[in-house]
Structure formats: structure tokens, C-alpha cells
Amino acid sequence: MIIKIKTISLVFALFSISMAGTGAAVGTASGTQLLIPTGAKGVALNSTYTASVNGVDALYYNPAGIAGRVNGVEAQFSSQNYIADISQNYAAFVSNVGNGTVGLAFNSLDFGNIKKTDAVDTHGNSGKTYSPNFSVLTLSYAKSFSDRIRFGSSLKVVSEAVEETGGMALALDMGVQYSHASMPLKLGVSLRNLGSKMEYTGVNLETNNSTLLTQAANIPANLNISTSYKLGSVNLHYSFTNHSYSFNESAFGVEYSMELGNYSFWLGGGMNSLLVEEDNLDEMYTDNPFGASLGAGMSTKLGNFSFGLDFGMRQSEQFGETSVLAFNVGF
């Protein structure tokens, strides 16, 4: 079984060879809503716990994790205050089916009403507005091959629309988790957003005599390798992410958990840094847009039901603080 895990990890690594992780790739991706983390705990830990994440939280970070801890059905509903007055609304469900676990998630962005402008009405004085529609639909399946090894995959439908012009792409996630037999050590590998290019079409691109052509762009694939080590009630997390659209990234996270009767509590935080190799790039490209993150949450059991409430936030000098509130329920 260890050989199988090494083989899977090698395949993931080979898939990531084409990912640049350099300044030449900055800003070249489409479908970037795929990069907005979901769930308050993932935000608080700076996306570092792909090795140990389980249940409904795992749908975004590592599909292998949905096969862990689920006993019946779990659901999560969250709302995130993102940058530039954009909000993210997220709903996810996981359930045991036969010997495996299936998951379904829907993620959408709310841009509010934006003034409509054109060459004549450059300030939007007409009062007309529009609202872009960006969404991601995720279908996942995972299975535990033993008490130490899980594997999962997800299919994503990525959609973007601005008025009557939009694009669509398909993406695939694959993930594996491994727990050491004698040490409180966990390893995780996830390849995310490997898929088709996105190209815009629609009537808004039509002019009097022709149709404007758009350039198809890759969606932001990345390879994440992470580890978690448990010291009593404290989990230490580390992750390395190889990006196709930007600089590679290294991140650390710390999580403290405690149980009191039917109540469970967690408190955690994280930091990340961009791994910039070039010395001649402007700081606007090399500065890390997000800084420290932190959060906390609690859950309780009432008969066959469980309820949880989590809060997470990230600091940013450019965008201000972003925060997410997530409600979890299981039965």
C-alpha cells in the first residue's frame, strides 16, 4: 500500500511539471474564483491542513478527506466577506454511499449591482446596473482503502458570466491522505483545478460589422503537498503549493483543539509566504496579498445531530480583512 501511495504522489508531481510558479505566470489564469478558500477553519489555518482535513471541509482542500469522519450526512453553509465588497456564498454536502463517500458543493460570488457604462454614458448616469455571475459546482467521490489511506477525486464545473457574455470550463481535483502507522503524522497530496481552458463568447462581443475574438486561458491549477503532526491537543501544519498562475507558496498553521463533554472547540492561525526567485520584479507582483490568518469554532452533539459554528479571517494590507462565518450540521 505504501508503494501505491508513492506511485500516486509521483503521478501528481509529474502532472505539476508544467506549472511555472514564476513571475512569468502571474495574472495569466482564468476562473480565479477557484482560488478563494471555503470554510472558516481552512481560512483560519491558511489552507495548510490538506493532510488532515476531513468531512465536508475537505471538499475544497483535498477530496480524499471527505471519506474521513463522516457518519451519515454532513452539511456546511458559509458566507465570506471577500475583497472589494464581493461576498462568497457556499453550500456543501457529503454523505456515505456504499463503501465510499460522495460530496456536492456550490460556490458563488456576489458582486452586488454595478453601474452600467458605455462610450456615451461613461459615468453610469442612466441608472442601469448589472451583476456578474461567477460560480463553481463540485461533485466528489472518495474512499478509504484502510484506516490509514484515503483517495478522492472531484469534478468541477466553472462558470463565469457578465450580462450575456460568459465562459465555462471543466476541472478535475485528485487527492490522497496517508496516516503514519506508529507516529501522529499525516501526509496529504492534492492536485487541484486541472482542466480545460476558458474562453468567453456571447452577444456582448458583437459589434456592427464583426465579433470580437477572445483568448482562451488556462484555469489556475496547483499541486499542494502538506503534512500535519499532532502534539497532544496541538496540530502543527505545513504545506507547499506549486502554482501554475503565480509564485509558489509555503504556509504554516497551528491548531489547538479541546473537548468538554458533548462540546468540541478549536482555535488556530497561520502564516504564508511567496517563494519568489526573481530579483528584478516590481514589488506589486512579489508582495504577498494576504498576511496572518486566525479563527475559532465550536461544535456540539444533540442526540443523532451535531451542530457547529466556525469563524475565520485573513489580514491583507491591500484589501483589508476578509472573514468567513460557517455553520455545520450533521445527522
The model's pLDDT over 177-235, given as tens digits with 9 standing for 90+, comes to: 999 999 999 999 999 999 988 888 888 887 777 778 788 888 999 999 999 999 999 99
Please report whether residue 310 resides in a domain: yes
Q: 34 with 171: CB under 8 angstroms?
A: yes
The model's pLDDT over 244-275, given as tens digits with 9 standing for 90+, comes to: 888 888 999 999 999 998 999 999 999 988 87
Which residue segment(s) compose the domain that 280 sits in?
2-201+215-330
pLDDT (0 to 100) of residue 218: 87
The model's pLDDT over 269-307, given as tens digits with 9 standing for 90+, comes to: 999 888 776 555 655 566 777 889 999 999 998 888 899
Q: How far is CA 330 from CA 56, 115, 116, 278, in A?
A: 10, 41, 43, 47
User: Which CATH number fits the domain that encloses residue 188?
Assistant: 2.40.160.40
Mean pLDDT of 305-310: 94
Whether 173 shows a pLDDT value over 90: the answer reads yes
Whether 1 shows a pLDDT value over 60: the answer reads no
Please report whether residue 207 resides in a domain: no
Taking each continuous run of H as one helix and of E as one strand, the counts in the chain are 4, 17
pLDDT (0 to 100) of residue 71: 76
Q: Which residues are paired to 13 by β-bridges?
A: none
Please report whether residue 26 resides in a domain: yes
Maximum mean pLDDT: which of 70-74, 162-166, 254-258: 254-258
pLDDT (0 to 100) of residue 61: 96
Please report whether residue 210 resides in a domain: no
Please report whether residue 209 resides in a domain: no
- CA pair distance 218, 19, nearest whole angstrom: 11
- CA pair distance 42, 56, nearest whole angstrom: 11
Please report whether residue 78 resides in a domain: yes
- CA pair distance 269, 273, nearest whole angstrom: 14
Q: What is the 3-state secondary structure (H, E, C) of 270-301?
A: EEEEEECCCCCCCHHHHCCCCCCEEEEEEEEE
Tally the domains of the chain. 1
**The total number of residues written for the chain in this structure:** 331
Mean pLDDT of 142-170: 92
Q: How far is CA 153 from CA 1, 63, 65, 78, 167, in A?
A: 19, 5, 10, 22, 23
Burial 251-279 (b: 16+ CB within 10 A, else e): bbbbbeeeeeeeebebebbbbbebebeee
Q: 253 with 49: CB under 8 angstroms?
A: yes
Please report whether residue 64 resides in a domain: yes
Please report whether residue 208 resides in a domain: no
